[in-house]
Amino acid sequence: MAFLLRRVGAGALTVLAVASLSFVAIHALPGDPADVLLDETATSADRLALRTTLHLDDPLPVQYFRFLGDLFLRGMGPSFVHRDRTAFSEVAAVWPSTVALALCAVLVAWLIAIPLAMLAATRPGTRTDAAVGVLSLLGMALPSLWIGPMLVLLFCVALPWLPFPGPDASGPASLVLPSLTLGAGLAGILTRMGRGALREVLREPYIATARAKGLRESTVLIRHALRTALVPLLTVGGAQLSALLGGAVVTERIFERPGLGLLFLESLLRRDVPVVLACVVAFGITVAVIQLVIDLLYAAVDPRIRVSA
């Protein structure tokens, strides 16, 4: 329980720190949100009235403390663009979509990485090992901006097996290509890390003992070697969560998929400050929760790790 409280407290402080830094950063951007929100026919009086309504003329410390009040009490306050909706209500409408995409991308990455890592680790120095190394490098090196369109051309145009991406695409099939695009980089990292970790574990004396007992090679590899090798992989996977959710901005834009990333980008272009900050808070909460789950998985994967430590 003490561990959970510490982790939850640390996660909450991290989210608050990230949101505060984002508040400073967005207010440091050049330009006036009123100029973006008003059309060309607006007068100076209209501009002044809007700035007064949005409290844009208040000193920055006053705006910051109002932001904290909105964060804890008023759902981040009303959106600058849609005054009848709070910023968090707009985020809540698309948050599940991004969480589903992120979880599917992580699942795809692990489903690709673990078999490839096992294949390469048990065949060191062979062509199979070299091919897995090349594939993992490609996964890490190729940008989502290239992978996404290529997958669309292959599986939606040349081989029309999957629905064409767009805001109207729905169902599990619509998640396949975005998940592959978003998870490719993580799959490459996990494959390389898993291959190295498994090679080290397979040299351990207890692996030789398990083989001497007559256990099948698949049992030795999965039940003994893989379980130990998963610990560093969980560490790497947790460290890549922020990058993964950051990549959701690009992926959702490529596939025109409603989500936090697309909402964040559109709100940033419109200078809708409350919605931008609400997106940042949502990203932070998502990372903190998943990181907490990963920390708890350490004890399940490796009994030598004590969560209470």
Range of the domain at 155: 97-301
Is residue 45 within 8 A of residue 237, CB to CB? The reply is no
| Residue 8 maps to a domain | no
223, 288: one domain: yes
| Residue 6 maps to a domain | no
Q: What is the pLDDT of residue 5?
A: 79
DSSP state of 86: B
pTM value? Answer: 0.79
105, 208: one domain: yes
Cα(138)–Cα(192) distance, rounded to whole angstroms? 11
152, 251: one domain: yes
142, 185: one domain: yes
| pLDDT digit string, tens, across residues 226-276 | 888 887 888 787 778 777 877 888 888 888 888 888 898 888 888 888 888
| Residue 235 maps to a domain | yes
Which is more confidently placed, 305 or 126?
A: 126
| Residue 242 maps to a domain | yes
| Residue 4 maps to a domain | no
81, 103: one domain: no
33, 154: one domain: no
118, 28: one domain: no
238, 189: one domain: yes
233-263 core/surface letters (b: 16 or more CB in 10 A; e: else)? bbeebbebbeebbebbbbbbbbbebebbbbb
Q: How many domains does the chain have?
A: 2
| pLDDT digit string, tens, across residues 75-117 | 777 888 887 888 888 999 988 888 888 889 989 999 999 999 9
Identify the band that residue 302 occupies on the pLDDT scale cut at 50, 70 and 90.
Answer: low
- CA-angle at 291, arms to 282 and 228, nearest 5°: 155
153, 275: one domain: yes
Q: What distances in angstroms separate CA 74 from CA 15, 87, 146, 158, 192, one per listed residue? A: 17, 9, 41, 49, 46
| Residue 208 maps to a domain | yes
138, 248: one domain: yes
| Residue 307 maps to a domain | no
| pLDDT digit string, tens, across residues 122-178 | 888 899 999 999 999 999 998 888 998 999 899 888 888 888 887 777 778 888 899
What's 146's domain CATH number?
1.10.3720.10
149, 29: one domain: no
